[in-house]
Homo-oligomer: A and B are copies of this chain.
């Protein structure tokens, strides 16, 4: 079974690359549907689950309420989400060759020896990409977008640290790190990354 995980900085085009890479390799592609599945499985609201991921699981209980009841309730939600999250990712991974975007799949599926890729870019490139592809409200000022970008990446790093011993974005956690800066069309990156993936699976499946 071949599993690719793609971690990415917000606005770097990592999701786009993951989507096109999955298509190129004829792999299944898992992204936001994981959040829907967690929401269904935990009986929690989808937006709520998404927010927990964005803010980072660890910090969540500290941000809300001070009374015992409040803390306890939130902790239980976080635990439920973590358990459902891990279970769903493991189930999806059993369904055949696939690409996961984010969601700490690299750490969760570590024992299945996935190919872990990280996608990042310069701040200006990410800012322009966010504005061009409208992943953020059109009325937001640059400063606000930059703040939001940083918040989202911090949340991703925090959530990742719940599942992994290696740090989010640190080269030791990945097999390939791709800087998309300068690439107007993410498509231009697909052939080389697909070629790397094929070579990597040829070399790294033998050993298990």
Contacts and interface: CB of A to CB of B under 8 A. Distances in A.
A182 B195 contact: no
Interface residue range, chain A: 20 to 34
Contacts of A181: 175
Interface in A174-208: 174-179, 181-184, 188-189, 191-193, 195-196, 199-200, 202-204, 207
A153 to B, nearest CB: 13
Contacts of A192: 192-193, 195-196, 199
B179 A176 contact: yes
A120 interface: yes
Q: How many copies does the complex hold?
A: 2
Nearest to A118: B171
B175 A203 contact: no
A169 interface: yes
Nearest to A187: B199
A191 B183 contact: no
A193 B195 CA distance: 9
A182 B207 contact: yes
10 contacts: A171-B171, A171-B177, A174-B177, A176-B179, A182-B200, A182-B203, A183-B203, A188-B199, A192-B199, A195-B195
